[in-house]
Structure 1
Amino acid sequence: MPSIAKILLRSILKMVNFVMGIVGIAMVLYGLWMARVWQRDIEASSSIDDYDSTAPWFIYTFLSIGITLCLVTCIGHISADSSNGFCLSCYTVIIMVILLLEMAVAADILLNSDWEKDLPEDPTGRFHDFKQFVESNFDVFKWIGLLIILAQGSCILLAMALRALGQNHGSNYDSDDEYPPARLPLINHNLQPPSFVVGDPHFPSKNDAWNTNK
């Protein structure tokens, strides 16, 4: 039966992990809305060839990031529910990789003033609109970014703590198995040799009985 600390860590990990799920769902919905608007602009525009010449990379990137966050959230929920060491390790590595990528992108934006030139041209214009929207609500997005980073860091720490707690519980259980239980299992029933030997009763042969009577 799991301990109270393990149950508490599971619940906290699920709640913190759900933050990334909410962000992923919001990004997927916003990406679908941008794709719908772009498709409507293509149908209403006379220069369809200009739209088809360049892929809407910003919409695809937005959708891909949102779907990735949703998948990571599912992996984290399964890992927290099962408390499996391998699943928790994989989940921790994935969160670390995502966190490193986010830090690399943030460092490039802050240190490189011409970072926009490294990006391909966006035919939809949604990247420019999204940039202006972020700049106009920079304080809100700053706190959202800090919340996401804090949630990811907390997920890493909670997953590591839950994995360590599972290992300690397993080692204690192994040490308790040194003493055989009162009811032995059916397969491994030779943990402790019995003090007496159970065998077929020995009856004297006819010759032994005849010699004794004689």
Structure 2
Amino acid sequence: MAGIARTCLQSILKIVNSTLGLVGIAMVIYGLWMGRVWKRDMQDSSFDDFDSSAPWFIYTFLSIGVTLCLITCLGHISADCSNVFFLSCYLEIIFVLLLLETLIAADILLNSDWEKDLPEDPTGRLHDFREFVESNFDFFKWIGMFIILSQGFSMLSAMALGALGPNNESNYEIDEEHPPARLPLINRHLQQPPYVVGEPRFPGKSDAWNTSK
């Protein structure tokens, strides 16, 4: 039963953990598209029309996407090996990620001028992204709830998998298939030698004479 429960928890952890990977891949693709559009605009226009500062929003978007992909890889590795150390690291990272998401959401909801706290974006993509989210707020609201629920299920699955401990059944099967070649030293005095060392005994002449008769 423990093996079946461990397999189910590993599958659940991989499935819910894949949500972060999908979000990370989408963010990387969108970030690459924004960077391409920004470079094309810079080539088509003169450099005086653009601010010389770096497009921090594009780089931040790409960095968050790559980070989510790395977290997904860590979650899959933790699910496969069921190692307590990897599961603990994964739990801590997911907890910190949830805490950051909560703080960012609270700042956006409570602070109406949150955009002024950020540095100026020379690409203008932050403003475009904000308008896109506001125009599709219901869709992004459900996506956000789905991401938070998947992270919560990931933490629960990782905690349950860590409570079961590592998988040692494969080691037991290997030990049964290949028994140890050496016997324990305690029972050495009980073992009988396969042969007795002694002087060879040859039949005497009388015995050979009687046998011939």
Name the TM-score class by shorter chain. Answer: 0.7 to 0.9
Partner of 1:161: 160
1:1-214 alignment runs, 5 A limit? 3-46=3-46, 48-49=47-48, 51=50, 53-166=52-165, 185-186=180-181, 189-190=183-184, 193=187, 196=190
Q: How many matched pairs?
A: 193
Counterparts of 2:108 and 2:66, CA distance in 1: 23
Counterparts of 1:191 and 1:11, CA distance in 2: 44
Deviation at 1:197, TM superposition (A): 6.7
Counterparts of 1:155 and 1:38, CA distance in 2: 36
Counterparts of 1:37 and 1:129, CA distance in 2: 13
Q: Percent identity?
A: 64
Deviation at 1:2, TM superposition (A): 6.8
What's the TM-score, normalizing by structure 2? 0.80
| Aligned residues of 2:2 and 2:164 also touching (Cα < 8 A) | no
Deviates more, 1:190-199 or 1:98-107: 190-199
Deviates more, 1:56-65 or 1:1-10: 1-10
Partner of 1:210: none
- Moved beyond 4 Å, runs of 4+: 191-195, 197-203
Residues 112-139 of structure 1: per-residue CA shift (max 9 Å, x gap): 2221111000000000000000000000
Q: Is the alpha carbon distance of 1:185 and 1:42 closer, same or farther for their aligned partners in structure 2, counting shifts above 3 Å? A: same
Counterparts of 2:179 and 2:72, CA distance in 1: 42
Gaps of 5+ in 1: 204-214
Q: Is the alpha carbon distance of 1:58 and 1:185 closer, same or farther for their aligned partners in structure 2, counting shifts above 3 Å? A: same
